Structure 1
Amino acid sequence: MPKIEAGSVREHRAQRLAQLIDAAEAILNEGGLESLTAGAVAARVGIARNSIYRYFDSIEDLLELVVTREFPAWIDAVERTVAAETTPEDQAVAYVRANLEQAARGTHGWRASLSRGSLSPSARERVRNLHTSLHETLARVVRELEQPQPELTVAVLQAVVDACIRRIDQGDELTTVSDFAEGAARRLLAHDHR
């Protein structure tokens, strides 16, 4: 039986999986997708090549784990920020702000580019589902505002978020982009709510 490096087998497994994802991220950052191989990941972590398959079925599965790694924390941060506000309008603006803050603190840009071109169809579907669960937070808030065009309002607010995240990924300053996005959201909500 292999030696475990944690208090329990479960903890060891979680630690090892995190090490494998960290290794894959480092390899992707250094050499791009072409350099991500089972051998390179195993060597980086210091385990036998075939041992990595105890944690995922293929390199494509590992790539999916890399791309989706930040989603749970991102979704949690957005939901907490939205919940901290008391009015639906402030919650909608908080949704916009929180998404931009998450984009600025993480590695969204290269994860998004991997997601667009390198994932299997089932992995892309999983990413879409994660985005959908995040968008549901905004949809719920907009429903509370009783907007005359709730689906269109959600679509436009999400388009503002997406465009501003792209600007942050390109290097624009968070404060400038966030101030613009929050102002646009407030104007849209004030206009739609009449």
Structure 2
Amino acid sequence: MPKIRAGTVREHRAQRLDQLVDAAEAIMAEHGVDGLTAGAVATRAGIARNSIYRYFDSIDELIELVVTREFPAWVSAVGAAVEAERTPQARAVAYVRTNLELAARGSHGRRAALSRGALSVAGRQRVKDLHGTLNAILATVIDDLEAAQPDLLQAVLQALVDAGIRRIDVGDEPPGVIDYACDAAGRLVD
């Protein structure tokens, strides 16, 4: 019987899952998706190979866990930044800025590449659904702006975020991208 190294079984399970996801991320960073095997993850995490399947059903599910790991914190940060602003215009700019700042700090590019190439159909759908939570935040901002063409404005602001993230992912300096995108967003919503 394995030793529980946390206050509760639930905490132990969460810690172990984090270790497995950490191990998977490290393996993929060093060897790509092809290097990701159950044995490699188990060895890296320091547990028995057959034990890893207590935490996920397949390597595809583990890849999905890696790709979606940062989403809850990302959505929370964007929501908080938007809510902290007083005007709809400032909320729209906060949406753009916060998404780009998070992309600049994290591993978005690597996760996006995984979601395009290594995720199962179900995993890609989960990522799409999670992006939908961000789109819902932007939709609320657009409603508050009372724009003449709300759907078009939402699409353009999201395209601005997407383009900025792509530029950051390919190596453009984040402060310049963020400043440019925020200025453009501000002009769009004035």
State the TM bucket, normalised to the shorter chain.
Answer: over 0.9
Aligned residue for 2:3?
A: 3
> Is 1:96 matched with 2:61?
no
Cα distance in 2 between the residues matched to 1:47 and 1:182: 46
> Is 1:116 matched with 2:116?
yes
CA offsets 1:8-38 (integer angstroms, 9 cap, x no match): 1111100000000000000000000100000
Aligned residue for 2:151?
A: 151
Cα distance in 2 between the residues matched to 1:132 and 1:152: 17
> Is 1:41 matched with 2:76?
no
Cα distance in 2 between the residues matched to 1:49 and 1:125: 28
Calculate the aligned-residue CA RMSD, in Å: 0.6
> Is 1:179 matched with 2:179?
yes
> Is 1:160 matched with 2:163?
no
CA offsets 1:138-190 (integer angstroms, 9 cap, x no match): 11011111101101100000000000001111111111001100111111112
The Cα shift of 1:101 comes to 0.5
The Cα shift of 1:46 comes to 1.0
Q: Unmatched 5+ residue regions in structure 1?
A: none
Identity across the alignment (%):
66
CA offsets 1:56-96 (integer angstroms, 9 cap, x no match): 00000000000000000111110111111000010000000
Amino acid at match of 2:121: P
Q: Unmatched 5+ residue regions in structure 2?
A: none
TM-score by length of structure 2 reads 0.99
CA offsets 1:87-140 (integer angstroms, 9 cap, x no match): 001000000000001001100001000001110111100000000111110110
- The size of the alignment, in residue pairs, is 190
TM-score by length of structure 1 reads 0.97
The Cα shift of 1:2 comes to 1.7
In the TM superposition, what are the counterparts of 1:1-80 in structure 2 within 5 Å?
1-80=1-80
- Runs of 4+ deviating beyond 3 Å: none
